[in-house]
Structures are given as structure tokens and as C-alpha cells.
Amino acid sequence: MNKRPVLFVDSGFGGLPYAHFFRSRNRSEKLIYAADRANFPYGPRPKDEVRKIFLHFVKGLVERYDPKIIAVACNAASVSALPALREAYPAMPIVGTVPAVKSAVLASRKRRVGVIGTQRTIEDPYIAELAAQFGPDCVILGEAAPELVDFVERRWYKADKEERFLAVKPWIDKFRENGADAIVLACTHFLLVADEFRSAAGNDIAIFDSVEGVCRRVESILDSEGLRSDLQSEADESLFVVSGVRPLEERWEQLSSYYGFTLETRY
């Protein structure tokens, strides 16, 4: 029995759906979700810079909370810093977020797949490598959408369904005009508007994300490495840790309440 926490990390609050999904299936595990508000956004930054700031952020979290496993719920951090993170913590199980390109490529009948994410993720060769591995005949239509990331981070919590839909629809329209029949949400932030993506996509475009795959991978490691906590009891409160200067903006308190986390004010 291992009562140390499971740590989910992102540049902002986009990875919350991953942590929320994991908690819904693993109530006995103590959970910490950490957002690097001080350095948001990661997407426009050079790869080396993302690697440096993310390693520094995780170092502080590991020293303070002593997690038993880390889930990097951030595509930009995963493509930029995952090897360096594993090198820094060779004894720590670490799960990255891999965009669901494989599933989308295998499902596409038109052989045209849209991928929407941050600039850092879209520009990384990893997307093209995944597509080449699982569907070399498939055309990848990559779109960096920093304004949509910013909308989710700063407006989502107070926007109504119509505003969220209107923020997403132009991207769906663009992919549809270019013949895509599958779209990969390659930024964790976009999971918060996944319903709007699916609504705008209709029946002719399938939407793919990596939430379930990432969480199942974390669960698999907990089982195989004997890291599970007491399965017969429910864990204490889940923490929402936010970096950066105080006071926090209103949205952080609202989001922690919405997802049932306790906001950690001491970090």
C-alpha cells in the first residue's frame, strides 16, 4: 500500500479533465493537480525554454509533495521535456500525453486528419512521426490555435455554451473546408470545450482525445509497480496547486470548486 499522491501537471488548467477522469475511477488515490500559472503559456515558447521551466516547476513539486507517479497532462511539455524529465527522475514512473493521432489516422476514411494544438506541439516533428508510423498515406492538417488556448484559460469558466461554441466553430469549419473527417485535440486545454468541438463537428467529423488512454496508462503502472493505495477507503481531499504571484485570479477558485479540488494557497 502506497499513500503518496498521484501528480498531474500542466501549464494551466487544461489538464483538469485528465485529473478529473482519473479521480472518478480511482477514489482511493490521493491526487494533486498542478498548474504552472507563473509561466503560462508554454505553446509559443522555444522547446529548450519549455524544457527548462517545466523541469524547474516539477522539481519544486517533487520536493514538496513526494509523488509516486507523474502524469504530464500537457502536450507542449510532453513533446519538449519528457525525456529530460525521465532522466532527472529515473526511479519515478512518468506518463506523458501523446496526441491521439494513431486513433484518428486509423479511423479516417478520407485520409485527411486535422490536429489542433499549441504552436509548440504542432511544430514538433513528433506529430508527423506518429502519422507516418500509423498512416503514411494520411495527410495531417496541423493548426496552432493560441487564441483558443487563451480563451479556455481566461474566459471558459465564465463563458456560456454559445460563447464556447462560437470560439470553437471557426476551427471546425476550417478543417471541414480542407476535407478532414477526423480531428485530434492535441492540447489539453481543448478538452474543456470537447463537447463544443463535437457539437460543431456533427456526424461527418470525428473528434479524438487522449484522456482515457493517459489515465489507463497511469492505472496500469500503479497496478504493475505495486503503487496502489488502500483500495477499500477513499482518499483525502484532492489538491489544486497553482504557481505564480498572489493573489490568484477569480477563475482559479471557481475552477477548483467546479472540479471538486481544494485550492492549495501555500505554494
- Per-residue pLDDT at 80: 95
* Cα separation, 98 vs 45, whole angstroms: 19
| Assigned C-alpha cell, 213 | 488512454
The residue from 16, 50, 77, 187 that is catalytic is 187
Could you tell me the pLDDT band of residue 267, with boundaries at 50, 70 and 90?
A: low
Predicted pLDDT at 177: 98
**117 forms bridges with which residues in the sheet?**
144
The ranges of the chain annotated as CATH 3.40.50.1860 are 6-97+212-264, 101-209
Q: Does 215 participate in catalysis according to the annotation?
A: no
pLDDT higher than 80, residue 200 = yes
Longest CA–CA span in the chain (Å) reads 53
pLDDT for res 233: 65
User: Which of 15-24, 126-135, 201-210 shows the lowest per-residue confidence on average (mean pLDDT)?
Assistant: 126-135
User: Which pLDDT band, with edges at 50, 70 and 90, does 21 fall under?
Assistant: very high
- The per-residue pLDDT for 74 is 96
pLDDT in tens, 210-255: 999 999 999 999 999 999 987 666 767 799 999 999 899 989 999 9
| Contact (CB, 8 A) for 21 and 212 | yes
Catalytic residue among 31, 74, 122, 127: 74
Q: What is the CATH number of domain 101-209?
A: 3.40.50.1860
Split at pLDDT 50, 70, 90, the class of 204 is very high
Q: Note the pLDDT tens digit of each residue in 73-91.
A: 999 999 999 999 999 999 9
Q: Which residues contact 228 (CB under 8 A, 6 or more apart)?
A: 1, 2, 28, 29, 222
- The helix or strand, by DSSP H or E, that contains position 15, with its residue range, turns out to be none
Per the structure block, which three cell numbers stand in for 180?
A: 478532414
Instruction: Give CA angle at 66 (64, 72), nearest 5°.
Output: 95
**Using one digit for the tens of pLDDT, what is the confidence trace for 113-142?**
999 999 999 998 988 898 899 999 999 999
Over residues 133-161, mean pLDDT: 94
Tell me what the mean pLDDT of segment 10-17 comes to.
94
Q: Which residue has the cell 482515457?
A: 212
Residues paired with residue 242 on neighbouring β-strands, in sequence order? 35
At the second CATH level, the architecture of 6-97+212-264 is 3-Layer(aba) Sandwich (3.40)
Give per-residue pLDDT as tens, 89-99.
Answer: 999 999 999 89
Q: What is the mean pLDDT of residues 136-165?
A: 95
pLDDT in tens, 25-72: 999 999 999 999 999 999 999 999 999 999 999 999 999 999 999 999
Q: In 3D, which of 206, 70, 208, 203 has the Cα closest to residue 130?
A: 208
Asked if 83 and 194 touch (Cβ cutoff 8 Å), the reply is: no
Whether the pLDDT of residue 266 is over 70: the answer is: no
Among candidate residues 208, 113, 120, 114, the one with its CA nearest the CA of residue 170: 114
74 given a catalytic annotation: yes
